[in-house]
Amino acid sequence: MRNSGFTVVELLVSIAIMAIVLSIGIPSFNELTRNSAMSSNSSDLLTAFNYARIESVKRGSSITLGQKDSSTWGGGLVVWIDDDGDGTVDAGEEVLRYWEALSTGSTLVSTNSITSFVFSASGEVDNLDTLTLCDNRTGETGRTISILLSGAVYVEEKVCP
């Protein structure tokens, strides 16, 4: 009767091959995950700006998009009807939608240090600006989100410092 199974040598060779494949695949997977987070963050930002613009035209009134956390753009976004025009969400003002904070390690910086954008009833915005989205990798591709006075918003790739 013949025993079927693996020898110790066959098992060690299989483990060595698996270790080599994993050592190549894990860094690639991490890079893929970070690139996916960057794309997701930039898509969320583009969606938030377009949502605020569409709501302003649909409602025929001014709509404000600003920082959920007043200290940073990366802390999330909020779109609301700013009745008193002070750029902050006050009690009694209608909040239309929130966006959660960016993924860990990501930063979003306004070129002109703007903390909120007001979209008029025609869809135009009060400030021209560029937001730079980077993560904690150096020399890697980030994104710039450009906001034009017409209210149009577009995203481009950028190499982060």
In a domain, 1, yes or no: no
Q: What CATH number did the domain enclosing 90 receive?
A: 3.55.40.10
In a domain, 113, yes or no: yes
The encoded tokens of residue 116 equal: 């909120």
For residues 46 and 155, the answer to whether their CB atoms sit within 8 Å is yes
Residue 111, phi then psi, degrees to nearest 5: -60, -40
In a domain, 141, yes or no: yes
Express each pLDDT in 61-115 by its tens digit.
999 999 987 678 888 999 999 989 888 888 889 999 999 988 878 889 999 999 9
What is the rounded CA–CA span in Å between residue 4 and residue 109? 63
Q: Helix, strand, or coil here: 88?
A: coil
In a domain, 82, yes or no: yes
Among the residue ranges 22-31, 67-76, 104-113, 137-146, the one predicted with the least confidence is 22-31
What is the rounded CA–CA span in Å between residue 34 and residue 105? 10
**DSSP at 3:** -
In a domain, 3, yes or no: no
What is the rounded CA–CA span in Å between residue 12 and residue 18? 10
User: 111 lies in which domain range?
Assistant: 8-159
In a domain, 66, yes or no: yes
Instruction: Give the model's pLDDT for residue 145.
Output: 95
The tally of domains found in the chain comes to 1
